[in-house]
Amino acid sequence: MSDFRQPITGHGNYGTANALAVRNRVLRNTYWLLALSLVPTVLGALVGLTSGINQIFAGSPGITAMVFLAGAFGLMFLIEKNKNNAAGVALLLAFTFFMGLMLSRLLGFVLGMANGAQLIMFAFGGTAVVFGAMASVASTTKRDFSGMQKFLFMGVIILLVASVANIFLQLPALMLTVSVMAIGIFSALLLVDLQRVINGGETNYVSATLAIYLDVYNIFSNLLMLLGIFGGDRE
């Protein structure tokens, strides 16, 4: 009987080791691709600022919102459809370039302030702190945060509807409320998404990178918005 059980035990250990290797590979590839995705984001922002596209965006908020929604959701759909081949990575990098281009409107607004460059660095630093904190919690806690996902998704839908509505309402109080809520919701989503990758719940690094990139992007942009409103020095 002992001879019969031994191969089964070995196979179980092999399966555990193989699952751990897959999880570590997905996590490593996700972090590398996330870092790489920042390059086209910066390039997109530079193109927007130097070409004057950011001013066009600022002058037509309704059209800009439609372009953003169509471009962002269209590219995300294509990324998910091609996440298992090389085209998925190329589409993800194209998506991050597009997101950088759309971010140029906010960057142009902040850079028009005397301390604009400093505010951008503060927003970047604050986002890095949030990322580090969420990654630390996700990798050390035994608590499962996946149950928060449905609630947080509903929060994202509310934020999206409120943001679109405020294009027409132009209510400063609503804009501030949306930004504060967005930082909280996407910070929590960042925790959920990181834990899912760390625990092996996500086995595709393209999908993992897309989710984490969106969390980081929204934390940064909304933090920068608040810093620009409350900490900006008008020239």
The domain locations on the chain are 2-231
pLDDT for residue 227: 93
Tens digit of each residue's pLDDT (9 = 90 or more) over 7-65: 434 444 555 667 677 788 888 999 999 999 999 999 999 999 999 888 888 888 888 88
* CA distance linking residue 207 with residue 184, whole number of Å: 22
What is the rounded average pLDDT for all residues in the chain? Answer: 88
Residue 232 pLDDT class (50, 70, 90 cuts) = low
pLDDT for residue 63: 86
Contact by Cβ (8 Å): 44, 101 = yes
**Across the strands, what pairs with 113?**
234
Mean pLDDT of 115-136: 95
pLDDT beyond 80 at 4: no
pLDDT for residue 162: 93
Map residue 234 onto helix, strand or coil: strand
Tens digit of each residue's pLDDT (9 = 90 or more) over 213-227: 999 999 999 999 999
Contact by Cβ (8 Å): 94, 212 = no
* CA distance linking residue 63 with residue 173, whole number of Å: 23
Residue 170 pLDDT class (50, 70, 90 cuts) = confident
| This prediction's pTM | 0.89
% of the chain with per-residue pLDDT over 90: 64
How many alpha carbons fall within 13 Å on the CB side of residue 165? 11
Residue 2 pLDDT class (50, 70, 90 cuts) = very low
* CA distance linking residue 158 with residue 147, whole number of Å: 19
What is the DSSP secondary structure assignment for residue 147, as one 8-state letter? G
